[in-house]
Each structure stands twice: as structure tokens, then as C-alpha cells.
């Protein structure tokens, strides 16, 4: 009877281990990856918003640095979304080109304006960093998390990361287009649509020496 009991206990343990393994395998199979069939590194378990198993350089292998990288990505994505929205808006309403805005004159001298911005942004960034270190979540001044509209959810967190990544790529596109065309995104689109066979990537690259000489 004792031998039978030991065998039953061993069988139960094996079955439980197999069950846990099968659950993990099924979860991994159901997980969305950056490339179909790709295998995620061990430190990317899919728990973070926007984790699709992409870290070819292993930058996130340190758990503390991984959390900081995730926070930095969110902040850069938020700035990129704000920048893209602002660039498109000013282009649509016919304001000065976004890449020439720094040369304009504003309500106070530029040097004083830069100093004021540095003070304000320095204070806000210091509070954000302190709050993130204490709470582990993003926030604003003394509110961590900052969610006045009550929209925080796992789905919204994933959407934020995805849109932030798209905006960062979009901003790089805006910058490259400004360099090779000296036009804003809406103006560049209008130029392309007016003559798509001439005003395209190949045509802009061919004209780049003249454009850069302007």
C-alpha cells in the first residue's frame, strides 16, 4: 500500500508538471510575436504592454534596466505623438514650416524663452522621474498614475505603445522628408500627388544636391 501511495504521489506530481508545461507552451503559442515563428528571449515574458518578443541585442536582460527602457519608450512615444500631431496641424492651417519654427520671433526673446522652458521642463521631468522611481508607473507632478479621464486599461496601454512606436517612425519620416524636400508632410504629399511620376522618392534623391544647396 505504501509503494502504491508513493507511485500515486509521483504520478500526480508528473501530471501537474506536465499540465503546467502545457499551459506555458499553449500561452507561448497564442502570444503575438514581432515575427511569426520567432522565439522571445527569456526576459520578455509578454507581461509588459507592447512586448512582442523583440530584443535582438538583449538590452532588456537586466530587469531594472528593462523597466527603465519601457518607461523611456513610453515617454518618447508620447512626445513623438504630440510632435506629429502638431506638425500636421501647423501644416494644415498654413503656419510656418515646423523645421523653421525655431528661427521665428515669439512673445519673448528666444534666449529667455529657452531658459524658461528649461526650468519648467526640468521641474516636470524631475518630478516624473522621482514619482516613477517610487511607484513604478508614469505620472504627472504628484499624481502616479496620471489618469484624469479614467481610461487606463491593459488594452489602452498596448494601444499607447503601438501608436507611440508608429509616431516615432513617422517623426523620423517627417525629418528625412524635410531634409530632402524642404517641405512639411502635407506640402510634400500635395507635391507628390500633383506629379507622382516625377515627385517621388527617386526624384527627390536625384534632386538632393540642389535641395541641400538651398
Kindly report, residue by residue over 181-206, the tens digit of the pLDDT: 888 899 888 888 888 888 877 877 77
Q: Are 83 and 171 in contact (CB under 8 A)?
A: yes
| Sheet strands (E) in 14-99 | none
Q: Which residues contact 175 (CB under 8 A, 6 or more apart)?
A: 99
Rounded to whole angstroms, how far apart are CA atoms 89 and 98? Answer: 10
The CA dihedral of 188, 193, 198, 199, to the nearest 10 degrees, is: 10
Neighbours of 35 (CB within 10 A): 9
Rounded to whole angstroms, how far apart are CA atoms 27 and 37? Answer: 14
Q: Give me the phi and psi of 77, to 5 degrees please.
A: -65, -40
* pLDDT given at position 21: 43
pTM: 0.75
Smallest CA-to-CA distance from 161 within 85, 65, 78 is with: 78
Neighbours of 110 (CB within 10 A): 12
Q: Which three cell numbers stand for residue 103?
A: 528661427
Q: Which three cell numbers stand for residue 211?
A: 535641395
* pLDDT given at position 5: 54
pLDDT under 70: residue ranges of the chain:
1-30, 212-214
Task: Point out which residues pair with 63 in neighbouring strands.
Answer: none
Sign, CA dihedral 155-158-164-170, equals negative
* pLDDT given at position 22: 42
167: phi > 0 → left, psi -120 to 50 → alpha, else beta; which?
Answer: alpha
Amino acid at each position: 500500500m505504501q509503494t502504491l501511495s508513493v507511485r500515486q504521489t509521483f504520478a500526480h506530481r508528473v501530471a501537474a508538471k506536465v499540465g503546467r508545461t502545457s499551459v506555458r507552451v499553449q500561452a507561448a503559442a497564442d502570444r503575438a510575436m514581432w515575427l511569426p515563428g520567432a522565439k522571445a528571449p527569456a526576459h520578455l515574458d509578454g507581461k509588459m504592454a507592447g512586448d512582442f518578443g523583440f530584443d535582438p541585442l538583449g538590452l532588456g536582460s537586466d530587469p531594472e534596466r528593462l523597466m527603465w527602457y519601457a518607461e523611456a519608450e513610453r515617454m518618447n512615444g508620447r512626445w513623438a505623438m504630440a510632435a506629429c500631431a502638431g506638425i500636421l496641424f501647423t501644416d494644415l492651417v498654413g503656419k510656418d514650416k515646423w523645421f523653421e519654427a525655431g528661427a521665428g520671433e515669439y512673445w519673448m526673446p528666444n534666449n529667455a524663452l529657452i531658459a524658461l522652458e528649461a526650468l519648467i521642463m526640468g521641474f516636470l521631468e524631475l518630478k516624473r522621474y522621482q514619482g516613477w522611481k517610487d511607484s513604478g508607473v508614469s505620472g504627472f507632478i504628484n499624481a502616479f498614475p496620471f489618469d484624469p479621464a479614467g481610461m487606463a486599461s491593459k488594452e489602452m496601454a498596448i494601444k499607447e505603445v503601438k501608436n507611440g512606436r508608429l509616431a516615432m517612425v513617422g517623426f523620423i519620416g517627417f525629418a528625412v522628408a524635410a531634409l530632402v524636400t524642404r517641405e512639411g508632410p502635407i506640402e510634400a504629399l500635395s507635391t507628390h500627388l500633383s506629379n507622382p511620376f516625377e515627385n517621388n522618392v527617386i526624384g527627390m534623391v536625384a534632386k538632393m544636391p540642389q535641395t541641400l544647396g538651398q
